[in-house]
A and B are shown apart, each in its own frame.
Chain A
Amino acid sequence: MIALHHSLWRILPTKRRAVVSLSSAVVTLALAVPSFAKTMTIGTISTSPVEETRVFQPFADDLAGRLAEDGIDDAKVVIATDIQHMAALLKSGAVDLYIDSSVTALAVNALSGSQYMLRRWKKGRSQYRSVIFVRDDSDIKTLDDLKNKVIAFEEPFSTSGFMLPAMTLKREGMKLAAVQAVHVRPPAGTIGSIMAFDNETQSSWVERGRVQAAAMAEEDFHTFAKTALNPLRVLYTTPYVPYHVVIHRPDLDHKLVQGIKKVLKSAHETQSGQSMLKNFERTAKFDDIPEQLLGHVTVLTPFLSLILSP
């Protein structure tokens, strides 16, 4: 009965699902042994909620369809505005699964108690790392030399462009101080940080001496390094971290967690699963997060205040 009901569900327009959902729940309860069919909510953080929903909803529907035996009969997508928002949603149970970068997930886990679940190979990429670079003719040779200098980061929400390099700098004992403009000197002994909001701007600032360093994803650095006005040099490279991860809310039913993991980890083995993944931002597969890789993330936990502070 549940399987039949779900097949009907999939062809109903979204707005009607709520009504049907309620009535079907009543009917199901009236006629059968209670099976607690429910809605699974998947969330992410973005400033473009409409666009993100278009990307996530088909994946969520497909995943829910594969979890019918686990009592899932519907899927919903929730877009949070920031880390705190997402953490609250997870904590309240409004969101069951959260998919984002591994460092952002670290912050969310810290706030909500949610847990790492799986690694997502978004766009076929399993891991990445950041670099801090300077002009080659710069006299900055070590991270320490960055003190009293200004480093341009990408943007506050960027893992590779800010979180990872910034938290790594802090882990390395550096102190960062935000500056409002490139020409502003940071407090002594600190590394001035400014958001360029654009990789090309970051690179241009470094090339033209507006700032002394910048941090971005390694691949992006190499792209801009090719056309740099002056030769650039990598000052520091962070460890690899998982590119994208899936985490679940703290009290999500263990059996359901196992069910979700099973479905996602085996999705790439079937044609229909491959189609589902491909339509989800060209995800290659889901797998367990390698211990070592996760360790590169979790060591940054003490430095979450850098990204969580208002």
Chain B
Amino acid sequence: MKFGLGHKIAALMSALIFLIGAGLSSVLIYQERVAIHDLRMDASHELTQRTATHIENDLYNLDIRKLRSTVATIMQGGGIDLIWVLDEHGRLLTDGHPAPRLRNQKPSVPFVDQLLGSGGTAELMDPSYHWVGQSVALGDGTVIGYVVVAYTQSHLDEHLRTSLINQLIVLVPALLFGVIAAFFLGRRIAEPLVAVSAAAEQIGDGNWDVVINDDSQDEVGDLARSINAMTKNLSQIAVSRDKLGEIVQRRTIELQRHRDHLEELVEERTRELTKSEERFRGFAESTSDWFWEMDENLCISYLSDRFEDVTGRPIGAVLGKTRRELAAPEAMQAEPEKWNEHFRDLEGHRPFRNFEYDILPDIGEGLISISISGVPIFDGNGIFRGYRGSGEDVTERKAIAEELRQNEEKFRSIIQTTTEGYWLIDPQTHEMLEVNPALCRMLGYDEGEILGRTPLHFVDAENAEVFKLQMAKINVTDHRSYDIVLTKKDGNKVPTHFEASTIRDANGKSHAAFAFIMDISERVQTQNELQQAKEEADRANQAKSEFLSSMSHELRTPLNGILGFAQLLEYDPSIPLYASQKDKTDQIIKSGNHLLELIDQVLELAKIEAGKISVSLENLSICDVFDECVPLIEGMSEKRNITLVTECSTHPNIMVRADQTRLKQVMLNLMSNAVKYNHDAGSISLSSKITGDDKIRVAITDTGLGIPEDVQDKLFLPFERLGREASDIEGTGIGLTITRELVHLMGGEIGFESEVGKGSTFWITVPLAHGTEAPASPRSPVVENAFTLNTPLGNEAKNYVALYVEDNPANLGLMEQIFDMVPNLTLLSTHTAELGIEIARTQRPDIILMDINLPGMNGVEALGQLKADSSTRDIPVLAVTAAAMPHQIEQGMDKGFLAYVTKPIQVENLLNTVREILKLS
């Protein structure tokens, strides 16, 4: 960076200011130091003198305590750094502090020697202290001690430093200000000279246009003005010559530029014209239309090649002809007015569009329909020069249009004659655009009364919602199918079915919607009638089910008493029966069981007829079924010495697809019939084999009475005993009916062969099983254990408490007598569920036996309350009820009954169930 004149001036002034400031500060500091020194000296001397006077007596008495106190007091006043009281030898007596370190020692300070040598007062300033001392003497001049006072120089220095800092605080800003001012001044002085120097440099470079600021009224201003005058003269001389050359050069360059631009423009235009011609040629060759021109005489003067392709007429044969000459005569005759108008356009030199006419092809039959469009040609002077235009072959298009017209006529005819209603509506406004006579008849309106209206006019409020919903779909869906009730003109309702569609254009936008409307009054009526019939049938079925359920319950309840008490008689060891009495009770039990069986079978038949029976098909081993059924029949057969032969000729692993329980029921029914209708010492054989239709055939053959041929067709009818009602053979006449239904349900067939006197063979077929499903486990045969009423339950040492809730006195009495027999069981009983719950809460029985049909709260509700109460929740509850329908049993188990015992109860079964429950709990 250049250290210019301005900087020099500024630096010089700054230095000057600094020197002046520093000098002044130094002088002030010195003066202050001297002043302070003098002041302190005076103060020191005075203090020393006062102290010496004050301590005379204490020093004389050597009262160290008072000397110490005096010195300490003076020191507390501040401003003094040290006071010593010395003895006559200069040894420290006290410095104001207890037990001073220098006690009895002469301080090794030069001043002390000076003081001792002075004999009076002394003063010394060393780097650390300013010492003042004075002797304490008696009247005779005997010195008894000294007082020494000292100030540290640091105080003075501190004071001077403070003063210096204060001065600097004032001086430094002033100096800075001076330096800044010096820089400004220096720059201001140097600026004009710098400008002159810069201008001179530019002039030296040839720039004679530079002008120096010459406002200043000093030598620099005079210099600037002289230089300006000089450069002005010089530049005037140079401009004339240089500028002329420049102008010429510039013009030459412009001319060259324009010439080049013109050539470019010409080339570009030429290119565009060529391109346009090529484009036009391309269009002409690619289009299906042709182009033509007529001269001012309206004769064809030009035809593009396409004309010949379309019409087959050579262009040369057409050129020079007028349109009138080209047109087919019959076409002109068919539409004279059209032609006249066209000629008027031509004569009037007006443009025309899509003028259609027929021409005869050069070769072939038929007319060719063409459509031409043209515009008149005028020259630059506005003189008519002919026509120019295009033409196209519209033969095909016209044919299609004709076809469409014909199709529409057909459509119209269909619409008008159909018996179904029809309407066409606007997809946006939903106004009727078209209707057919059938709709008018259906609604009772004239056509005029319907057109322009919307469909909502023909429905009530409820059905209007249906229309609104469907009309909202017009633009969304293509087809809609729905039923709706229309309102006729006379107010009557007509149920209808709509098949509606939306018509869309090529862009998918809907431009109409139509619907065919069918009067479905008859169908609706038929549906209503069917619905009514179904409801009646359902009600009848329901009534029948309720009747059966009620009957089952009502019959089972007294049967419970009959069979129960009969069993009591038989099982009560305290009342041994005579043989005749036992026979009678056996008969009671037998009859009761028979009645029970009848009830069950009637119910089952009713279920089958009602279609409420279902089978659970599974893979079974047919031989396992035989093995289960035979033991159950053996008792019967052995009594009459009937031989039972089982022949399981199929492989034991062959499986059938059947309901295990129902198949067993079927087999037991057939086998029991074979026993019942057999001779004593007769035989029964059981066989099976695989048939050809993927089934297995099981046959039960007996050596019984046989069935007369005339009654064989009644064999499977319900309650039909074929004349055996009067015999001693027991039966209900329902077993085979049920058996047949069950076999059919399992996908099999049943049949028989029989000969009177020889016996009968009843057979069934069952489908074979396929696949890898595991076979059902054979159910274990019931093992009958020896049973007596007085067998203790569970833990013999424990006394169990049972609660029985039953409203029927007879049943209640039966249960009480049964439970009386059991040694370690106490029975509590009550006749309502409410009381039962209360007793359960207070007595906490080990088990509850609950009837379901109770007055007030029923047994299921009571079970719910017991389970909801923490105090009774865990007491097992056993249902004992005549509600024996399967759904009732299932419902009861779902509700939480631990077991479900149906009436009439089997005492052994009941007590075994109670035993098992108590064992579990």
Which residue numbers of A lie inside 8 Å of B, CB to CB?
182, 196-198, 200-201, 204-205, 207-208, 210, 223-224, 227-229
Nearest Cβ on chain B to A223's Cβ, whole angstroms: 6
Known contacts A200-B98, A223-B99; decide if A229 and B65 are in contact (CB<8 Å). Answer: no
Taking a contact as CB atoms under 8 Å apart, the answer to whether B68 and A229 are in contact is: no
Nearest Cβ on chain B to A197's Cβ, whole angstroms: 6
Nearest Cβ on chain A to B331's Cβ, whole angstroms: 133
Instruction: Summarize B's interface: helix, strand, loop or mixed.
Output: loop
Interface size on B, residues (CB 8 A): 16
Residue B103 lies at the interface, judged by CB distance under 8 Å to chain A: yes
Give bound CA distance, A224 to B99, whole Å.
7
Taking a contact as CB atoms under 8 Å apart, the answer to whether B64 and A207 are in contact is: no
Nearest Cβ on chain A to B315's Cβ, whole angstroms: 134
Chain A residue contacts of B98, Cβ below 8 A: 200
Taking a contact as CB atoms under 8 Å apart, the answer to whether A198 and B64 are in contact is: yes
Tell me the chain B residues, 93-111 only, with Cβ under 8 Å from chain A.
Answer: 93-94, 98-101, 103-105
Known contacts A198-B65, A229-B104; decide if A204 and B99 are in contact (CB<8 Å). Answer: no
Taking a contact as CB atoms under 8 Å apart, the answer to whether B91 and A204 are in contact is: no
Chain A residue contacts of B104, Cβ below 8 A: 207, 227-229
Give bound CA distance, A208 to B99, whole Å.
16
Chain A residue contacts of B94, Cβ below 8 A: 200
Tell me the chain B residues, 46-99 only, with Cβ under 8 Å from chain A.
Answer: 61-65, 68, 91, 93-94, 98-99
Give bound CA distance, A204 to B62, whole Å.
8
Give bound CA distance, A207 to B104, whole Å.
10
Return the contact of A205 from the options B62, B91, B99, B100 (Cβ within 8 A): B62
Taking a contact as CB atoms under 8 Å apart, the answer to whether A197 and B99 are in contact is: no
Give bound CA distance, A198 to B66, whole Å.
9
Give B98's nearest chain A residue, CB to CB: A200
Chain A residue contacts of B61, Cβ below 8 A: 182
Nearest Cβ on chain A to B406's Cβ, whole angstroms: 121
Taking a contact as CB atoms under 8 Å apart, the answer to whether A200 and B99 are in contact is: yes
Chain B residue contacts of A197, Cβ below 8 A: 65
Nearest Cβ on chain A to B151's Cβ, whole angstroms: 26
Known contacts A200-B98, A223-B99, A227-B99; decide if A208 and B65 are in contact (CB<8 Å). Answer: no
Taking a contact as CB atoms under 8 Å apart, the answer to whether B99 and A201 are in contact is: no
Nearest Cβ on chain B to A224's Cβ, whole angstroms: 7
Nearest Cβ on chain B to A59's Cβ, whole angstroms: 27
Taking a contact as CB atoms under 8 Å apart, the answer to whether B62 and A201 are in contact is: yes
A-B contacts, 25 listed (Cβ < 8 Å): A197-B65, A198-B63, A198-B64, A198-B65, A200-B65, A200-B94, A200-B99, A200-B103, A201-B63, A201-B65, A204-B62, A204-B64, A204-B93, A205-B62, A207-B104, A208-B62, A210-B62, A224-B99, A227-B100, A227-B101, A227-B103, A227-B104, A227-B105, A229-B91, A229-B104
Beyond the given pairs A196-B65, A204-B64, 13 more chain A to chain B contacts, judged by CB atoms under 8 angstroms and listed by A's residue number, are A182-B61, A197-B65, A198-B63, A198-B65, A200-B99, A201-B63, A201-B65, A205-B62, A207-B104, A208-B62, A210-B62, A224-B99, A229-B104
Give A196's nearest chain B residue, CB to CB: B65
Chain B residue contacts of A205, Cβ below 8 A: 62
Nearest Cβ on chain B to A212's Cβ, whole angstroms: 14
Centre residue among A196, A204, A224, A229 by max chain B CB count within 10 A: A204
Chain A residue contacts of B91, Cβ below 8 A: 229
Report the 7 A-B pairs with minimum CB-CB distance, sorted nearest first: A198-B65, A229-B104, A227-B103, A201-B64, A200-B64, A204-B64, A201-B65
Centre residue among A182, A198, A205, A207 by max chain B CB count within 10 A: A198
Chain A residue contacts of B93, Cβ below 8 A: 204
Give bound CA distance, A73 to B350, whole Å.
137
Give B65's nearest chain A residue, CB to CB: A198
Chain B residue contacts of A228, Cβ below 8 A: 104
Give bound CA distance, A219 to B754, whole Å.
148
Chain A residue contacts of B100, Cβ below 8 A: 227
Centre residue among B68, B98, B99, B101 by max chain A CB count within 10 A: B99
Chain B residue contacts of A198, Cβ below 8 A: 63-65, 68
Tell me the chain B residues, 520-571 only, with Cβ under 8 Å from chain A.
Answer: none
Nearest Cβ on chain B to A3's Cβ, whole angstroms: 48
Taking a contact as CB atoms under 8 Å apart, the answer to whether A200 and B62 are in contact is: no
Give A198's nearest chain B residue, CB to CB: B65
Chain A residue contacts of B68, Cβ below 8 A: 198, 200
Chain B residue contacts of A208, Cβ below 8 A: 62
Chain A residue contacts of B65, Cβ below 8 A: 196-198, 200-201
Give bound CA distance, A208 to B93, whole Å.
11
Give bound CA distance, A227 to B62, whole Å.
16
Give A197's nearest chain B residue, CB to CB: B65
Chain B residue contacts of A223, Cβ below 8 A: 99
Chain B residue contacts of A196, Cβ below 8 A: 65
Centre residue among B91, B98, B101, B103 by max chain A CB count within 10 A: B103
Give bound CA distance, A208 to B144, whole Å.
13
Give B93's nearest chain A residue, CB to CB: A204
Nearest Cβ on chain B to A213's Cβ, whole angstroms: 16
Give A203's nearest chain B residue, CB to CB: B64
Give B102's nearest chain A residue, CB to CB: A227
Nearest Cβ on chain B to A31's Cβ, whole angstroms: 53
Give A220's nearest chain B residue, CB to CB: B99
Give bound CA distance, A63 to B61, whole Å.
47
Give A208's nearest chain B residue, CB to CB: B62
Centre residue among B63, B64, B94, B100 by max chain A CB count within 10 A: B64
Chain B residue contacts of A201, Cβ below 8 A: 62-65
Centre residue among B93, B100, B104 by max chain A CB count within 10 A: B104
Give bound CA distance, A197 to B61, whole Å.
13
Nearest Cβ on chain B to A216's Cβ, whole angstroms: 12
Chain B residue contacts of A200, Cβ below 8 A: 64-65, 68, 94, 98-99, 103
Nearest Cβ on chain B to A67's Cβ, whole angstroms: 39
Give bound CA distance, A274 to B91, whole Å.
46
Give B87's nearest chain A residue, CB to CB: A208
Give B89's nearest chain A residue, CB to CB: A229
Chain A residue contacts of B103, Cβ below 8 A: 200, 227
